[in-house]
Amino acid sequence: MSTLLDTTAEEPELTTVSRLRVSHQSEGIDLDEAERAAAAFLSALGVATDSASLKDTPKRMAHAYAEMFSPRPFDLTTFPNDEGYDELVLARRIPVRSVCEHHLLPFVGIAHVGYLPGKGILGLSKLARVVEHFSCRPQVQERLTKQIADWLDEHLEPKGVGVVIEAEHTCMSLRGVRAVGSNTVTSTLLGTLRKDARSRQEFFALTGMNP
Ligand SMILES: [Zn+2]
Q: Which domains does the chain have, with CATH numbers?
A: 31-67 (no CATH), 80-207 (3.30.1130.10)
105 Cα to the center of ligand 1, angstroms: 6
CA distance 31 to 43: 18
101 Cα to the center of ligand 1, angstroms: 6
| Pairing of the two strands 106-116 and 89-100 | antiparallel
Which comes out higher in pLDDT, residue 44 or 12? 44
Give 3-state DSSP helix, strand, coil % of the chain, rounded to 5. Answer: 35, 30, 35
148 Cα to the center of ligand 1, angstroms: 20
User: For position 26, what pLDDT does the model report?
Assistant: 62
User: For position 72, what pLDDT does the model report?
Assistant: 87
Annotated catalytic residues are 100-103, 141, 169, 171
User: For position 3, what pLDDT does the model report?
Assistant: 43
User: For position 185, what pLDDT does the model report?
Assistant: 95
User: For position 13, what pLDDT does the model report?
Assistant: 37
Q: What is the pLDDT of residues 39-91, one digit of tens each?
A: 999 999 999 999 999 999 999 999 999 999 998 888 888 899 988 898 999 99
* Annotated binding residue 136: no
SS3 130: helix
Per-residue pLDDT at 18 exceeds 90: no
Q: What is the pLDDT of residues 80-120, one digit of tens each?
A: 998 889 899 999 999 999 999 999 999 999 999 999 999 99
Spell out which residues have Cβ within 5 A of ligand 1, the ion: 100, 102-103, 171
